[in-house]
Amino acid sequence: MKRHRLVSLALIALASLISAHSNVDDFLAKYNRLGQQEYYDDSVASWSVAVNLDDKSLPEIAAKADANIAGWEQMMAAQAATQFGDLKSINDTSKKRQLKMIQRVGVKLNSADTIRLSTLLINMTNVYNKNRICPWSKVSRAPNCSVPHEHWWRSDPEMFDRISHSRDYDELAYVWTAWRNISALNKAYFQQYVEMSNKGARQGGFKDTGDYWRSLFESDDLKDMMDQKFQEVLPLYEELYTYIRRKLLAQYPGRFETSAIPAHILGNMWAQDWSDIGDFTAPFPNIATVDITEQMVTQGYTPLKMFQTADAFFQSLGLIKMNDEFWKNSMMVQPQNRSVVCHPSAWDFRNGQDFRIKMCTQVNMANLLIVHHEMGHIEYYMQYAKQPLSFREGANPGFHEAIGDTIALSVVTPQHLQEIGLLNSTSSYEQDINFLFKQALRKVAFLPSGYLIDLWRWSVFDGTYNSSTYNTGWWDLRTKYQGIVPPNNRPVDAFDAGSKYHVISGTPYIRYFFSHIAQFQFYKAMCKAANQTDALYKCDFFNSKEAGDLLSRMLQLGGSLPWPQAMQKITGQQNLDAGAMFEYFEPLQDWLRNENMKAGDCYGWGYTWPDAVMKNLNTPRCGLTLDQ
């Protein structure tokens, strides 16, 4: 009798287990089915605003769509919590991970507050994209506001172009400052955004918005890990920085005296990509630097051909080609009849078919690399499109940013540019150093900026900085980590951080710092798969199905595994490691150190790092001023 009772209890337990699994399967099937349409509708509404800022009816529609998707996510999270509780009864690892992600809402607001938050972001985007400044007159050496308003300068392309190509110290200071005067218009919106976003994050179970953003990396020690990585790459940055400062002092004699560099003369509105000052800073100025812009124009490249060129590279690796909807729905050029958000972005409409890029493409080498970067996002979207909806994301946000840049590391090599007929030159030591230098102006120069933007925002979200200290906090970090200072005294009530699109659009940024290290790890792994045995910086894995297969196996995972496991899938190791970056730039770092030592330059910009960091940095150290 006892035996029969035990059998009966076992059968009941088994039936209960089968029922629970059935309930999980039914719930996840419903979530995936309904979610695809919900996310698609929200994406369509957001896209419509981004490609037509002049239609006054669209922001309200987009805000309501955001409220709808937020309400749906909260409803599904509540259902998952009610039905499955703490998930201890779920044995299937994949299903448990899906349910965990569904229950993590993040920013949890009611419909009215979600609409307010969405409207704030749209308002800041409008200010950012629609305001213009008076053009600079070379004759009067002052802004000329008498020209018709339609000829005033937009941010993109006119303001950004002047910062990139002007060598007039005063014009650069004017454009830099005028753009930040526009940024200040967003300060009140941003303050409200911080309050509303924090409210939602706390209601979602997080300390603040920064806490929620960091949770997306699934790393308890993210802050410490990022700080350690910055300390690791700082010696490389200091070598480049010291060399560039010497060149800028020669270019603008008597215009600045501090050991820190004025932010407006580095060829980029945010001083984070220095490649546009490569013309007067190249190590070997009489040796041609790799820049295929002129050849692209000569050969009749158009924005469409640039996208087709990128697609051909991905296909050469055996990866998925862009589908018909991509070519039909993407915005590749800036429309002439309406205002748009020109900041390049890739979009996944979450229905497994509709993928788009929005970009005001110009025919030049820099934009060709951006096209590859954005198409890397699309490739990732397509590779994990068959995953459950909860897993249709990168292994972490930094992975997504690294994919296209990994491809671009191969695309930008002289070997590849010769292969596709855009470069005709032979290789020499001097050419290699010039090439690596140009790459460092893009990649190494970016590192401190990529790190500090979210350091600042995390401190805003947790209350360390408030509206009265936004700007002082911003410049404390910019000077500490980047070694730059503003070209003029900044007002206490300024909002210079808002000059960066990602700040006013609510886009987390530490992902870019992560990606600028991870991409070299991915690149090295793909080069090994392609049996490339030359120096790492010369590797071109074009046409290597083996390299493509290695990448594809990782991309297909989406967010189904924690990122260290995805990292291991492609690199064989589970940690973020700057070793591949140092290997890539080793010849340049040696050259820079030799040049800086010969010149007798000091290192740094007057900031004293902790002893554990200082022991890895070069001496002598700079004080607050330089003798000129």
Residue list for the binding site:
373, 377, 401, 511
- Residue 211 Cα distances to 195, 277, 462, 588, angstroms: 14, 37, 9, 38
**Residue 100 · residue 76 · CB < 8 Å:** no
Specify the 3-state DSSP secondary structure of 258: strand
Annotated binding-site ranges for chloride:
511
Q: Measured between alpha carbons, how far is 439 from 441 in angstroms, rounded to an integer? A: 5
Q: Measured between alpha carbons, how far is 539 from 416 in angstroms, rounded to an integer? A: 9
502 is catalytic: yes
Catalytic choice (73, 171, 239, 374): 374
**Residue 584 · residue 536 · CB < 8 Å:** yes
- Residue 254 CB burial class (10 angstroms; 0-12, 13-18, ≥19): exposed
**Residue 323 · residue 353 · CB < 8 Å:** yes
Specify the 3-state DSSP secondary structure of 373: helix
What one-character-per-residue DSSP string does 305-357 give? HHHHHHHHHHHHTT-PPP-HHHHHH-B-S--SSS----S-EEEE-SSSS-EEE
Annotated binding-site ranges for Zn(2+):
373, 377, 401
Strands 484-485 and 261-262: parallel
**Residue 69 · residue 39 · CB < 8 Å:** yes
**Residue 341 · residue 50 · CB < 8 Å:** yes
Long-range contacts (CB closer than 8 Å, 24 or more residues apart) made by 311-315: 311/375, 313/372, 313/407, 313/410, 313/411, 313/542, 314/375, 314/379, 314/407
How many contiguous H segments (helices) and E segments (strands) does the chain have?
25, 6
Q: How many CA atoms lie within 13 A of 374 on its CB side?
A: 26
Catalytic choice (502, 546, 586, 595): 502
Residues with Cβ within 8 Å of 70's Cβ and at least 6 positions away in sequence, in order, are 107, 108, 109, 111, 114
Strands (E) in 334-426, as ranges, are: 345-348, 355-358
Q: Measured between alpha carbons, how far is 543 from 312 in angstroms, rounded to an integer? A: 10
264 is catalytic: no
Is the alpha carbon torsion for 348, 349, 352, 355 positive or negative?
A: negative
Long-range contacts (CB closer than 8 Å, 24 or more residues apart) made by 382-387: 382/320, 382/323, 382/355, 383/319, 383/320, 383/552, 383/555, 383/556, 383/558, 384/555, 384/556, 384/557, 384/558, 384/559, 385/352, 385/353, 386/352, 386/556, 387/556, 387/557, 387/558, 387/559, 387/560
- Residue 589 Cα distances to 9, 406, 593, angstroms: 70, 21, 6
- Residue 391 Cα distances to 43, 128, 135, 240, 558, angstroms: 18, 33, 48, 39, 6
Query: CB count, 10 Å around CB of 568?
Result: 14
Q: Measured between alpha carbons, how far is 451 from 18 in angstroms, rounded to an integer? A: 48
Catalytic residue IDs: 374, 502
